[in-house]
Amino acid sequence: MPLLSISVFLPLLGGVLLMVLPNKSARIAHGVSIATTGLTFVVTLAIWARGTLPDGFAQIEEIAWIPAIGAAYRVGVDGLSLPLILLTSLLFFLSAIYAARITDRPAVFVALMLMLETASIGTFAALDALLFYVFFEVSLVGMYFMIVGWGYEERQRAGLMFFIYTLLGSLPLLLAIIGLFLATGSFDMRLWIETPPLTGLAAMLALIAMLFTFAVKIPSFPVHTWLPAAHVQAPTVGSVILAGVMLKFGTYGLVRFALQMTPDAFAQAGQVVLAFGVFSALYGAFVALAQSDLKKMIAYTSVNHMGYVVIGVAVAALTLDPDLRAVALNGATLQMVSHGIVTGALFFLVGMLQSRAHEREMTAFGGLLGQVPWLGWAFVLSAFASLGLPGLAHFPAEFQIFLATLNAQPWAIVAIIAIVVTAGLYLRAIAAVFLGEPNEKWAAMPDLDRGEMQAVVPLLILIILIGVAPSWLLGMIDATMRALQF
């Protein structure tokens, strides 16, 4: 059974099914949505059960597309893409559960969300560069319409900024892909990874183009400015998908394309990339500290966390010791998954708070922990995870990244200051919102209902599970990273 293709196209099929159904009531739409995303999640679990190969890609499926230029539908997984596919299908499933409360044009919303899931899983699974680019861009269109259609006050501006920014960002990638294609006559990514086709100046130009694209997506300083606007204005589900899944396109591409297809150029430019990573991590943390809007604050911590991933990848490119490389890349990959889960949970929780209070300013709240204990403790747990507390999801990832950094590029360890800053800003946020004097205004605020629990609790369990025993995930990642050719 072509499980991988099923997981890619099942959501799209669900969306099309919904569009042709005569009855498009909210009940039906969300029923289709939860069933489709749930089934997709099960299929990805089956893909996981089939496993990956220690070297190269597994579960490859291939159909001719445009034979004249060597483009084909090719998908497959390895220890880098499979964890991200699992993360994607889980987050979409939970988003579908949470989105069941949307009543404004529910069918269209669900169809967009399902299209986004197809694009997201497709991006991680694609082994053909043209196919990758197709999924990469389709996700952009879906997210644009989600922000513009269901976002908050300033959604038009934020959506436009997001679309133009990321489209401009992704077009250099197309140039790099065309360059790699002209050097080989094929769009097969496996071919490009096996023997990197470009050398010298051409490789450096391709790398610069790719770095630009992925830096916008990650987002890394100085091309991160679209992120806070898009996050703040996007609907809750949009924020969760944007932060949890779509930012990973950037870091995934950084490893899959930049590191694997132009390895020599990456090694040469490694110090520069590392410097951008370090600066992003510090910058994201300090700017987050300055925010009073909860959603914006979490958005900026994404810049900080993704900065660590960039550091990990750059350290791996700069060192020759295979063990150290594996440690750095393991950390970077695990950090992608952890960030998806932790930040997904945080955006869910802030969205739930906002839907109750129509307010995101920290100072407007106070003492909510007694009022809404489930929401409160869930936020506290996720926030502690986000600041890197041992025993929670970010710790094993960040620990490995810093371990490798300290061994290979000691100067970059200054990024660790950012952890102190994030600790400060989360403690401040918790104190302002959940501790202190209860604000009379919110005395009637209800705690999480069943649907909200269902969306958040699985993420909380995973936060602890990855924090305490990450080996079930790291085993698969490590096998691939040790064999990674670059």
Partner 1 sequence: MARDLSFLFPELMLASTVVLMLVAEMLRAPRLALAFGLIGLGLSTALTLPLLEADTTVFGGTYRVDLLSGWAKLILLPGTALALLMTWAEIAGKDREGSVYTLLCLVTLGAVMLAGGGDMMLLVLGVVLTGLGSFAMVAWPRDDAATETAMKYLVFGAVTGSVMIYGLTFWFGGAGSTLFSELGALQDKPLIALAGLVAVLIGLGYKAALVPFQFWAPDAYDGAPVSVAAFLSVITKVAAIFAFAQVLRDLPVATGWPFVVALIAAVTMTFGYLAALVQTNVVRLLAYSSVAQAGYFMLGIVALGTSPLALPSVIVFGAAYVAMNLGAFAVIVIAGRNLDDFKGFGRARPLIGVAMVVFLLSLTGIPPLFGFVGKVLLFGAAIEAGYLWLAVIGILNSVLALAVYLRIVVPMYQARDGEAVRAEVALPLLVVLGATALVTALMGLFAGVFPG
CB of 12 to partner 1, least distance (A): 11
Token reading at 230: 């898009």
275 is an interface residue for partner 1 by CB under 8 A: no
225 is an interface residue for partner 1 by CB under 8 A: no
CB of 65 to partner 1, least distance (A): 6
DSSP annotation of 243? I
3-class SS of residue 62: strand
3-class SS of residue 196: coil
Amino acid at the residue 452: E
Out of 116, 127, 148, 274, the residue judged to bind partner 1 by CB under 8 A: 148
Are 306 and 251 in contact by the 8 Å Cβ rule? The answer is: yes
3-class SS of residue 301: helix
With CB under 8 A as the contact rule, which of the stretches 179-187, 235-243, 452-460, 464-472 interacts with partner 1?
179-187
CB of 96 to partner 1, least distance (A): 22
Are 278 and 414 in contact by the 8 Å Cβ rule? The answer is: yes
- The residue among 140 and 425 lying less far from partner 1, judged by its C-beta, is 140
69 is an interface residue for partner 1 by CB under 8 A: yes
Burial zone of 65 (CB within 10 Å; 0-12 exposed, 13-18 middle, 19+ buried): middle
- The residue among 217 and 295 lying less far from partner 1, judged by its C-beta, is 217
- The residue among 90 and 127 lying less far from partner 1, judged by its C-beta, is 127
Are 75 and 132 in contact by the 8 Å Cβ rule? The answer is: no
Number of residues binding to partner 1, judged by CB under 8 A: 31
How many residues are given for the chain? 486
171 is an interface residue for partner 1 by CB under 8 A: yes
Buried-exposed string 412-432: b where 16+ CB fall within 10 A, e elsewhere: beebbebbebbbebbeebbeb
149 is an interface residue for partner 1 by CB under 8 A: yes
Query: What mask of x and - would describe binding to partner 1 in positions 100 to 119, judged by CB under 8 A?
Result: --------x-----------
DSSP annotation of 223? S
51 is an interface residue for partner 1 by CB under 8 A: no
Rg (CA), the chain: 21
How far is CA 18 from its chain centroid?
Answer: 27
93 is an interface residue for partner 1 by CB under 8 A: no
21 is an interface residue for partner 1 by CB under 8 A: no
420 is an interface residue for partner 1 by CB under 8 A: no
453 is an interface residue for partner 1 by CB under 8 A: no
Are 70 and 181 in contact by the 8 Å Cβ rule? The answer is: yes
Cβ contacts of 439 within 8 Å, gap of 6 or more: 364, 365, 366, 367, 368
67 is an interface residue for partner 1 by CB under 8 A: yes
Query: What mask of x and - would describe binding to partner 1 in positions 181 to 220, judged by CB under 8 A?
Result: xx--------------------------------------
64 is an interface residue for partner 1 by CB under 8 A: yes
- The residue among 103 and 485 lying less far from partner 1, judged by its C-beta, is 103
CB of 242 to partner 1, least distance (A): 18
Nearest to 463 by CA among 393, 366, 365, 369: 393
156 is an interface residue for partner 1 by CB under 8 A: yes
133 is an interface residue for partner 1 by CB under 8 A: yes
For the chain, count helices (H), then strands (E). Answer: 21, 2
3-class SS of residue 24: coil
- The residue among 49 and 68 lying less far from partner 1, judged by its C-beta, is 68
CB of 172 to partner 1, least distance (A): 7
Q: Which residues bind partner 1 (CB under 8 A)?
A: 64-69, 108, 130, 133-134, 137-138, 140-141, 145, 148-149, 156, 160, 163-164, 167-168, 171-172, 174-175, 178-179, 181-182
